[in-house]
Every structure is written in C-alpha cells, then in structure tokens.
Amino acid sequence: MSSFSERVRALPHLGLGVSTEYGATDREHALDPVALREENPSWAAFLEVGVEVSVGLDVHAVRWAERGWPTTYHFLDVNLDDPEDLDETWLEAVRQTIAVLKPAWLCGDAGLWHLGRRDRGHMLLLPPVLLPEAVTPMADGLRALRAATGLEVLPENPPGAAFLGDLHLLDFFARVAEEADTGLLVDCAHLAMFQRARGLDPLTALDGFPCDRVVELHVAGGTVRDHQGLPWVDDDHGRDVLPDTWQIAEYITARATNLKAVVIECERNPIDVVRPLFGETAARWSAAAGATP
C-alpha cells in the first residue's frame, strides 16, 4: 500500500463543486446543480452527493453521473469507529452506489451518524469524543472503508454546538489522519462552530495542523442563534458565510498544497441568492492559492 503522499498525486483536481442529497434538488427554491453548471461550468465542476444507502440516489444525481460529470460520494450513515457499522450488507450497497456515481473519492463527517444500530428514525450527527483513545478506532474504520472500496476516504470534521473531550478538534483529526495515513476534508464552517463553542480564535490550532493532508474544503453559510441564552451557530447552509469561516478557508487554502476541491454547501437556496457566493469563493481560492480553481 502506497503512502498518502503518493496516492494523493493520483487524485483528480476537481475545482469548485456543489453538494446535494436525496430529494434536495426537488425542494422549492432549491439549487439546481445542472442549471448552475450550465450557467458557469467552473462553479459546479463536480457534484458532492450525500448518500444514505437505505434511501439511495435520486434521479438528479444519477443523471449527473450518467453524463460523465465528476462526483464525490459523501456518506451520511456510517459511524466509522464502530466495526459493526461496516457490515457487508452496507458495504455492498456502498459499492453499488460507487458503481453508479464513479466518485473521485469518498468523504463524510467522521462522527456519530446514528444512535443505536442503523435504523429508521435513528439518524443524527454528533462530533466524535475528542480524546486520544478515540483516534485509533476512527483511523481503523477509515482504513477499512478505503480497503473495502478501493477509494480514498476523507474524514470531515463534523458540526456541533457541544464538543466533548480535551483535544482540539484539529489535533484530533491530525492524529486520525496520521494514524490512517489519509487525506482530510476540512469543513471551514464546522471548524468555526467549534472555535466559537470553545471560545477560541478562528485560527486556533491551525499552526500545527497538517494542511498538506487537506484534499477538500467545505464553505457554507451559518446563522448565529440563541438557545436558552446560549449563542450557537446553526450550520444551515445559508448564503451568509461567517467571517470566521472565510478566515479559516483562506488560511488553509494558502497552505494546502494538495487541495483538489472546494464545495460550496448551499443546496437549499436558489441560484440567484447564492450566485455571489460562488464568485467570491472562486476569487478567494485563486487569490489565496495563486491557482485557478
């Protein structure tokens, strides 16, 4: 098995992409990825498809893939640290989905996607326990999924308002990446949520973070809300990106030598509303990295 630094060279440069999941495009006022691509191919150079295998793919994702347009596979239903979750039935469904999408890689929030066993009504998303002994099971799961699919698997830092454990989120994922010898997906909006929840500066702990392992970034809008007097950031994928999120994205983009893809998560908004977001993200990526997105 070759190392990440060797494997990453074989990964395609995807550029700017958009995210979707089952039924997202059919919702009223939702973003139509095909229309966006037709308007500006570089803003929807690929489609990140959120997949819960029990639900499957919608017709929009299938048609995108049938056109031979690039995709990535974002899992929405696996607790990577739980060996029982990577059962053969689930893996076979993943392989069948891969056969349709032909994704460049797999990615997804590395946290708790469900309570109990995988079952109807059980789905949610919580961050991992940020303790050293939680690193190895997560790394094992990543390696197992990579071996089972033959594709790179990029763990993503999940969102949350409550984070348990004394490790910094970035330190936890740096350890996971090192142990699994894998690339990373950094969701800048999720990281901004973590930093705010811990009362930290947006760039805290990035100085020791292995940016060279970052293959994909997510940028998304968030809304500050109040819960019983506690301010928290709702990861609502709206049009308004927090300044913290931009700050994090620019810092990482300038240092992520293996960055291949940036997803703008805004699937619930019409094109007219989020058009400026694509232009701004492309400009910022270009300026920070000195590259053409």
Please report whether residue 287 would count as binding other proteins according to CB under 8 A.
Answer: no
Tokens of 173: 């994922």
The SS3 call for residue 142 is helix
Please report whether residue 235 would count as binding other proteins according to CB under 8 A.
Answer: no
Part of the chain binding other proteins (CB under 8 A), chosen from 9-17, 28-36, 122-130, 266-274: 122-130
Please report whether residue 23 would count as binding other proteins according to CB under 8 A.
Answer: no
First to last CA, the chain: 30
Part of the chain binding other proteins (CB under 8 A), chosen from 11-19, 149-157, 161-169, 180-188: 161-169
Which parts of the chain fold into alpha helices (H)? 4-7, 33-39, 59-66, 88-101, 135-149, 169-180, 188-197, 243-255, 271-289
Please report whether residue 1 would count as binding other proteins according to CB under 8 A.
Answer: no
Contact pick of 105, 163, 209, 285 for other proteins (by CB under 8 A) = 163
Contact pick of 68, 116, 150, 208 for other proteins (by CB under 8 A) = 116
Least distance in angstroms from the C-beta of 132 to other proteins = 10
Q: Which is nearer to other proteins, 100 or 112 (CB)?
A: 112
Please report whether residue 81 would count as binding other proteins according to CB under 8 A.
Answer: yes
Strands 123-126 and 112-114: antiparallel
Least distance in angstroms from the C-beta of 169 to other proteins = 13
Part of the chain binding other proteins (CB under 8 A), chosen from 13-21, 180-188, 226-234, 259-267: 226-234
d(CA 165, CA 131): 5
Least distance in angstroms from the C-beta of 143 to other proteins = 8
Closest CA to 211 of 250, 263, 159: 250
The DSSP code for 163 is -
Cα–Cα separations (whole angstroms), residue 167 to 53, 64, 103, 182, 217: 32, 40, 32, 20, 22
Please report whether residue 117 would count as binding other proteins according to CB under 8 A.
Answer: yes
> Using CB atoms within 10 A of its CB, is residue 194 exposed (0-12), middle (13-18) or buried (19+)?
buried
Binding site for other proteins (CB under 8 A): 81-84, 86, 112, 115-117, 119-122, 124, 126, 129, 131, 133-134, 136-137, 140-141, 144, 161-166, 197, 225, 227-230, 232, 234
